[in-house]
Amino acid sequence: MVKFKPNLINMPSFDISSKLDVQLMDNAINVAKKDILNRWDFRDSKSTIELNKKDLLVNIVTENDMRLDAILDAIHSRMIKQGLDPRGLDESKEHYPSGPMIKKDIKVRQGLEKEACKKIMKDIKDSKLKVTAQIMDDIIRVTSKSINDLQAVIAICRKGDYEVPLQFINMK
């Protein structure tokens, strides 16, 4: 007969993740697309914005840098209005020419990257709280005997600058 330690099974825990809701993102892209089509400075423009839900890529095609910046600004403002954090978009890839048009592919971040995980883990360990944090693929699970310690970890993570939006889920 196997005996389980009850205090290990029922310890409070939560997960730290970084995921954007794809449906809200699709809504933000569609509203930004309508905004762009109705603007006077985009009249007679061949600009397109598409969200590839399978690969989680936003494809933007436009004529020049000014219009590209305006499209990105419209997408960011619509994301904020939908309750999404614009830091969830990976805009590090530069735009590239394609004939007379400019193309830009923006990746939608899903899950925490290794560097962000390491920064978060370091901050949690430096806090000297009695918590255990484990990296599980693209999330971090934090467990502790005290819910107050878990709430302190959440406060530490909210103060930190990790360049990705964080969600705190599965609080048990």
**2.40.170.20, 2.40.37.10, 3.40.50.150, 3.30.70.860: which CATH number matches 6-19+112-169?**
3.30.70.860
* pLDDT band with cut points at 50, 70 and 90 for residue 1: low
| 6-19+112-169 and 22-108 agree in CATH topology | yes
pLDDT digits (tens, 9 = 90+) for 18-58: 988 899 999 999 999 999 888 888 888 888 999 999 999 99
Q: What are the CA-CA distances from residue 2 to residues 5, 43, 63, 73 (Å)?
A: 10, 72, 68, 58
- Give every CB contact of residue 122 below 8 A, 6+ residues apart in sequence: none
pLDDT interval class at 72 (50, 70, 90): very high
pLDDT in tens, 120-150: 999 989 988 899 999 988 899 999 998 988 9
pLDDT band at 105 (very low <50, low <70, confident <90, very high): very high
User: Binning pLDDT at 50, 70 and 90, where does residue 79 land?
Assistant: very high
Topology classification of domain 22-108: Alpha-Beta Plaits (3.30.70)
> What phi and psi values does residue 128 have, to the nearest 5 degrees?
60, 25
Separation between Cα atoms, residue 53 and residue 57, nearest integer Å: 7
Q: Residue 9: what pLDDT? A: 61
Tokens in use for 96?
């590239």
Domain ranges (residues) in the chain: 6-19+112-169, 22-108
User: pLDDT digits over 45-54, tens only?
Assistant: 888 999 999 9
